[in-house]
Structure 1
């Protein structure tokens, strides 16, 4: 038995090393897997209504394509415009903070932060310009390097192709993986896989919808208030909601500074607070209970650690996979915890009590 475990560990190490080695090319495949996973339940329901798998996949694929295309057509121009306005307004915002906000803070707290903030402002502006220069040079290099541009476009074009074929054969692939499992592990592995599926469904289909709804609520509310960059701030706040309470903290801070800089009235901060308060109310009373419940079970600190660790280990691909992998790890850890609590290692006396009772039952 120990030899079998060593073989399994060696194979797992080789597989992990292989995926780490080819990490630069994995991003389109992982994105395709996520899209196929999201679309598979819809395809299954269409099959139940009489469509063949091919036609069901075609319908789902067309719906996904239209959704992504409309999102890009509607949001990219608006976000690009607001990002450009933000770049132009950044020096004025920093100067306003230095001339208006800091004196108010000094009068309230007695702390003189003007010198430190002046150095910070200069550093931010210099780094901002440097970042723009680096981005421009990277774009210029990509435009000069035909192979790099072709590779980037090829990776982008791979996503719909791989998504289509994964979605077409998703159930077949799952069945093949199940048949490859050792027979003595198969029941436990299937049970854990179902729990992981529930967690992933809650995260991918639930958390993403929660983030999208919060982003829309924040963006519409800030836009109706007339706050500049309302769409950008709202959507970024919705994305930041992947970490509990981070979205509302970041959003209300940034929106409050922008709104006060724009209107110069403390009352406008009340409107910003009401927008984010309404979003939190909708999330806690409607979105979270209906879409998530208590299936994910990830502590906010665990979420932050998972995202940072994933980015450190695997770059952008690791950031994409951090929370789904962390959710599955939590399922496995809960299983190991329950196994440990029922083992003789945890409670030797309880285990020894079981053995005599079992022996008595056999003798009777």
Structure 2
């Protein structure tokens, strides 16, 4: 047994480049796990700079300096973000407040339906169970809501201060990442070992895949969100902007997100129309949007970026989401692809034997 373990160790860890790759991955993983809170502005700026690098590079090829290209791209990006902030966020906020205001009446309507069901089928839901359910709901709406509201008020000023700091730091970091890309990359090489050929191979394999994935995911969010909002608005569904945004953001969590966002859409439609033809048409149209997203849009956008089994994707969402929260969920597929690329690039005994034979 010891001999088997020794042979396995020699096969997998005898290459210095493999050891270098392992330490680089472990070091970056530990830094992200323990310092993600402190490094959050830096990480956000890195992601944005990674996305905005393509237009800056294209403008540089046309003879525009990187400083001018970075300035133009960043100004356009910030302009789009400001337009969205002042155009979309107020509408979503109003609909969210309206939903919270209407929530008690929706709960009362739901409980009335449950009472009617209990009267017809008392063997499933008894009157005592309904009373305890109503008591718990009232406690949640009264006590817990006030407690949560107080916590939000107490933490509002601190959150606002953090947001203001992010609003200043992140654009500055993005600008310098774009402007001084070559200088920063060359300067960072001194912190890595010299025998990093395997790590460079993995990065070259992942670089375009990560860019294609992030770009495709942003496009998917916009298309699904806008299509859902237009459909909900045509159907006359209440809170259409809020539900459209939720539907667009649900694509961040593969397979699970669409299932989770279906519940509030179905509940809002049910409380608005009941079990009617409109309810059926809405759920049918929503199902068509999800089917087109999964069978047409996703293969079109991610054919070169994702080559993973659905079980692997779901496992990656659970693992990386548990480690890094929202960021882990968003980057679950690229991280899973990174693991796959490392496994494929990791030297094994057959490759070493082939290299030896080729050299002879």
TM-score using structure 1 length: 0.78
* Paired position in structure 2 for 1:43: 56
User: Residues 155-174 of structure 1 correspond to what in structure 2 (within 5 A)?
Assistant: 155-174=166-185
Q: Is the 8 A contact 1:213 1:238 kept in 2?
A: yes
1:292 aligns with 2:302: yes
SS at match of 1:212: helix
Residues 217-226 or 324-333, more deviating: 324-333
1:195 aligns with 2:202: no
Q: Per-residue displacement from partner, 1:47-86 (whole Å, max 9, x unpaired)?
A: 1122111111011101110111111111111111111111
1:320 aligns with 2:331: no
Shift of 1:45: 0.6
Shift of 1:123: 3.5
* Paired position in structure 1 for 2:342: 335
1:211 aligns with 2:224: no
**1 or 2 for the larger relative contact order (CA 8 Å, sep ≥6)?**
2
Q: Per-residue displacement from partner, 1:272-324 (whole Å, max 9, x unpaired)?
A: 1232233234424542233211523455555555455455545xxx4224442
1:267 aligns with 2:277: yes
1:228 aligns with 2:235: no
User: Residues 302-321 of structure 1 correspond to what in structure 2 (within 5 A)?
Assistant: 302-310=312-320, 312-314=322-324, 318-321=325-328
2-structure distance, mates of 1:190, 1:288:
29
Q: Is the 8 A contact 2:225 2:245 kept in 1?
A: yes
Q: Is the 8 A contact 2:233 2:240 kept in 1?
A: yes
* Paired position in structure 1 for 2:287: 277
1:72 aligns with 2:85: yes
Cα distance change, pair 65–231 in 1 and its aligned pair in 2 (3 A): same
1:57 aligns with 2:65: no
1-structure distance, mates of 2:262, 2:30:
43
Alignment partner for residue 44 of structure 2, among 17, 21, 31?
A: 31
1:185 aligns with 2:196: yes
Cα distance change, pair 278–122 in 1 and its aligned pair in 2 (3 A): same
1-structure distance, mates of 2:138, 2:319:
29
Cα distance change, pair 131–67 in 1 and its aligned pair in 2 (3 A): farther
- RMSD of aligned residue pairs (Cα, Å): 3.8
Q: Is the 8 A contact 1:40 1:170 kept in 2?
A: no
* Paired position in structure 1 for 2:4: none
Q: Is the 8 A contact 1:237 1:250 kept in 2?
A: no
* Paired position in structure 1 for 2:149: 136
SS at match of 2:293: helix
Cα distance change, pair 155–25 in 1 and its aligned pair in 2 (3 A): farther
Structure 2: state its 5+ residue gaps. 1-12
1-structure distance, mates of 2:171, 2:244:
29
2-structure distance, mates of 1:174, 1:339:
24
2-structure distance, mates of 1:109, 1:202:
55
Cα distance change, pair 260–13 in 1 and its aligned pair in 2 (3 A): closer
TM-score using structure 2 length: 0.79
Structure 1: state its 5+ residue gaps. 345-349
